[in-house]
Chain A
């Protein structure tokens, strides 16, 4: 048997694995793409399999010996079987030693176009994406992404994002963008449609090669490229959606009538006289007749528009893809919107077979008009109105009775955000440019060098203007108007240079690469503000009467340099061994601990490739294990070397001075996580694919601030102080339930469990932060709260358990006990894909079982009447409050002055169990003959619904439950129609 294997362009393919199906008889093609294969005995037919990475596997039934030439087709997209690895390497799932999970464009195409990270919610085992707060404050929610738990106390817990080989800056350690007043995530500046695949690297085998920044996992984003020898193709899509708040997820407050009842009762119960009650009707405020639903003043319908066009083509020696998109979102929080313009180009050239040159260039321009609605949409008293009595002038004051003065006072109505929304500006414009250039040159067979240079530059400008007509723009009653401008630029530069060597001899194959990576991050900020404008039309500071003396510019830089080496050896596609080594230097650390070394070893065994293993059903059975280390260097850059700070803040007699900043701490070193991972994967042909992994990660040398003697330093100092362990299991299961020509049903289900525990702390000392605590033997997300014992039916007073578990009616902070954690017991997602003829339906369900939330809204608004004249409270306060002796009530007696019943108590802990139908997509693909008739390649029509419905235990129409406290704003439900065409 012999023949030539070529690709679509007729170029011979080297190293194609050709083997007889069901046996291990196989050969590889030579330099000319030729193979020759000793045919088994004459007469019987058999199947030859042609396998090559990145190409579709071909199977040819051979009846008799002779010459068979095969042309392998490119995989149109990175098929699931090919996993993107570190530094642009690709590995087939069969060859994979470590733990990497990849989500391809198909799974992302109907997701919201807002930002890149939230797309992955529920799709990746072991990864959680949660908003950083459960309270309102920013309409651009910051998300916390965690891969396999929190590995650090003080350094960042965020994974490392790498887009096409260039490190993506995602903000500081809490994902905040320094230099801006409001954070808009850089992950929202990219068009998610440009993504070919997102790979989440999780274990030591995969992340050690990223050394110092790998401990929290690495997320590799690969953007789409064109293929060689492909005709010109155009893809275009338009999507329009209408969004509405899901009011069933909004926190429920009292209405005006309920409020007045409770407020008066709380006032009397506090021992005050009703004649001193502040909310008495007067000519300026008629409290008894006003009833405002504040949420409805701020929330309403939103829209979502997305349009995109992409063109790609390829010749024998060049390929390119170009795309442009526009996205506009108007939020359900009214007057809050964003727009994004993106353009992207990616080209590769292959002048000779040994050399590939690639360039990528993308730009994006973003306008974010923010209305960072705060908790006022809930807490403002329903007996206030946003307008004056004339019904249209914005209300800036309320007239209240002041008992101390014995007179009416005009009190500033800061809670009224309606004028703020209508008159003030809060706008961010951001330009993003990304480019990268790379080459890969095979010098001699098997040995190649490659290099990538990438730059990601982002420049943001923020305009905040407080109108003369709002309280923010007034000073001592004078209408002045005030304006502030912030500029920030973020430059990320990455250069990596690799030498790769790949060699096969007999059954052995070796794949080695090593290289050098340089990374620089430079952030620059400036700020200027002023006030005194003659009208609200001129908002530029050139026309301000006063420029504030508090103006600044600043720069923050960090650099790192790394050497790395990875080797993978395999024997006969059965046994795999891999090793990684990386040495990282970072400017963040002191001279004596500037360099850190990271390493890992991994192994895997393809059982299904064994001679003795003979099963047609089981197409893959594989076990793997890895062990190694990764680090975390993302902490404030000045902590290691002692510093002297120079500046205006330490001036004396107007002359700038300098003072000791931090004490030198030269021994400070890297947090290191030792990661152990084992896993198994089984694939049953056309039935299922199942993968299970167990991991145990131990982070040591945790960085945290500790108290030292004040005679040494006036502040706490960073030190390497403790250890955290994260261990867990992850399952991912894909089942092909029905697989027929006209009907198919596939289910993908994943489940993860993570157990997080602090195993050691500095001197064993417990540190508590109000409601949470760091304590040995407990989770890093452990709550420390006073156990609630209910309400005394005799007098309606609150009761607690003290630290020893005895009933007490005295509040004490010292009665807090460490206990429940916010870490869920299990979490994950399930996607069902159904297809019938030209119709398809996809439903994604995310779930979370267990874990507790100390809900901000609950402990803020179930306040038992405390300061009720200052803010509205939850509906439960009305229904559950104690009113009469002997009544067994859930909530204590309401009182204007009661304050202890709501402090640090576990009565506000909510079980986080929830099921969330995240996305539903219904698509109709036009039949091929129809499409062809109108000279198109494809045409799809989709109906998409995001955030379909959320279930939580104990949810109720009337009362609050976890469903209403889990988010700062009600969940936005979006209905969209989209059309995709291909030419």
Chain B
């Protein structure tokens, strides 16, 4: 045997094991580029996004805006929320809402950015599936806007805190970031501008035929959210127009189905929801927070005292013999099957759009039009004709504010309604909180930026006072 042959054999052995040997497909995981190389990946990616959005509301946004304001009496045994109820949270409380909302919020945004970034290539590679790509991308833009909106209203002061909204908001993340990028906080005005632009883009992206159920982002959801954003910006005309557009396209849930809209797992036939989060197999922290058998938070007197006896909405504030409980997060058609014990969180629904319309109209001087919107909701709630209800036009803003509590309590509005209207927080005297009153303006209207972020990214400015 000569050496040549041996060397050939060895060479053959070496070449056999080329570098492909080291390429392994990871099961259940694939690298990002591989994942987005196929069109079939796009739909699961947006479903994944919704599964990440749900906890933002379930764990935090269904409680915080109510309990930081005056809608909730917190149980003395509640440990998770006591710091928020008493405004004692500090930036090092990372294992609570202020850490998680930041973390979850940006994680959702990063997921949306992956979709938005990879979509153009897929659209090019799969021209027949252009509609699918557009519909997913439209939803990604909507969710990205929604998360920026939640972040900016929690960590930043309200839009009109400074006259030009130049005060600090949150970082805008509009592309996939590199590991070394150090991003800083944008002004509130820039963030709102970006939100509006994302919502507008979503409307451009949705294909004409796209009309999904209320559990997905949709053109009407984008418009409704736009209306809300304009309201926060006090761009009354835009809010008024946008709300009108939504109202023209949708009808309110009937009185008969009103309670079921919250208390049944299956959606009612005339559900007025514009964007809701389906709770099937998702977390249900809100349910246990409000659960009637042992609620952590009960509706405060400030809410319950507003309803008249015939108001159907009052029946969502109590259940059986359990006293004052909020029934917007527990279903009453539960089976023993554990996975059927869920609720669907409401992010935005038509009644809110009526009230946006009303508030914008009032600011535009159209008081009677504004009161008509309120009357429509009151009439449904009380089962009477709108003509039987009368309000004084001079009280129009107060009427709307009160109606917003009656209609939208526990749905993530109260705290931000107070701050955007520059109102104080005035809790009922019976509150167990150490804080009974906060005079606007105050840094307690915003959450401290979590310490993890401050340590990892020196470009982030902490919120004053609350980050002392």
Interface residues of A (CB under 8 A from B): 443-444, 447, 449, 497, 499, 516, 518, 549, 554-561, 585-587, 594, 637-638, 641-647, 650-661, 663-665, 667, 706-714, 717, 765
Contacts and interface: CB of A to CB of B under 8 A. Distances in A.
B95 interface: no
Contact of B22 (A443, A549, A587, A659): A587
Given A516-B13, A644-B45, A655-B44, 10 more contacts: A443-B1, A587-B22, A637-B26, A652-B54, A658-B44, A659-B111, A660-B107, A660-B111, A708-B457, A710-B106
Interface string B225-240: 0000000000000000
A638 B22 contact: no
A708 B177 CA distance: 12
A644 B35 contact: yes
B48 A650 contact: yes
Given A516-B17, A518-B17, A518-B21, A654 B281 contact: yes
Given A444-B3, A643-B31, A652-B50, A711 B24 contact: no
Given A658-B41, A711-B171, A645 B183 contact: no
Interface centre among A449, A554, A665, A709 (most CB of B within 10 A): A709
B47 A650 contact: yes
Contact of B181 (A497, A664, A712): A712
B453 A709 contact: yes
Given A709-B183, A710-B450, A712-B179, A443 B456 contact: no
Nearest to A645: B29
18 contacts: A516-B13, A518-B17, A561-B17, A641-B32, A642-B31, A644-B41, A646-B35, A652-B48, A653-B47, A656-B44, A658-B41, A659-B49, A707-B452, A710-B450, A711-B171, A711-B183, A712-B181, A714-B110
B249 interface: no
Interface string B253-264: 000000000000
B210 interface: no
B32 A708 contact: no
Contacts of A560: 22
Nearest to A712: B177
Contacts of B6: 443, 449, 499
Nearest to B42: A658
A558 B23 CA distance: 9
B21 A559 contact: yes
B245 to A, nearest CB: 27
B208 interface: no
Nearest to A589: B22
Contacts of A661: 29
A643 B30 contact: yes
Contacts of A709: 182-183, 453, 456-457, 460
Nearest to B344: A653
Contacts of B1: 443
A552 B30 CA distance: 18
Contact of B24 (A557, A667, A765): A557
Nearest to A451: B13
Given A651-B51, A710-B103, A712-B179, A554 B114 contact: no
Contacts of A554: 27-28
B10 interface: yes
Contacts of A651: 47, 51, 281
A643 B26 contact: yes
A594 B22 CA distance: 9
Interface string B137-166: 000000000000000000000000000000
Contacts of B455: 707, 765
A499 B30 CA distance: 38
A875 B289 CA distance: 43
A665 B178 CA distance: 9
B256 to A, nearest CB: 26
Contact of B31 (A641, A712, A713): A641
Contacts of A645: 28-29
A717 B13 contact: no
B52 interface: yes
Interface centre among A554, A652, A665, A717 (most CB of B within 10 A): A652
Contact of A660 (B13, B32, B46, B171): B32
B19 interface: yes
A644 B453 contact: no
B179 A663 contact: yes
4 nearest A-B pairs in the assembled complex, by CB-CB distance = A657-B48, A657-B47, A714-B107, A644-B35
Nearest to A642: B32
B278 A652 contact: yes
B280 interface: yes
Contacts of B178: 712
Contacts of A585: 19, 22
A708 B456 CA distance: 5
B14 interface: yes
B215 interface: yes
Contacts of B130: none
A312 B46 CA distance: 66
A656 B280 CA distance: 12
Interface centre among B19, B106, B179, B282 (most CB of A within 10 A): B179
B173 A711 contact: yes
B104 interface: yes
Contacts of B64: none
Contact of A643 (B24, B29, B171): B29
B102 interface: yes
A949 B179 CA distance: 56
A646 B107 contact: no
A548 to B, nearest CB: 11
Given A707-B455, A709-B183, A709-B453, A654 B29 contact: no
Contact of A646 (B10, B44, B46): B44
Contacts of A644: 29-32, 35-36, 41, 45, 114
A643 B33 CA distance: 9
Contacts of B453: 709-711
Nearest to B47: A657
A708 B179 contact: yes
Contact of B48 (A499, A518, A658, A714): A658
Contacts of A443: 1, 3, 6
A717 B178 CA distance: 13
B152 to A, nearest CB: 13
A654 B282 CA distance: 9
Nearest to A515: B10
Contacts of A449: 6, 9-10
Contacts of A444: 3
Nearest to B53: A652
Contacts of B103: 710, 714
B22 A650 contact: no
A646 B179 contact: no
Contacts of B29: 638, 643-646, 661
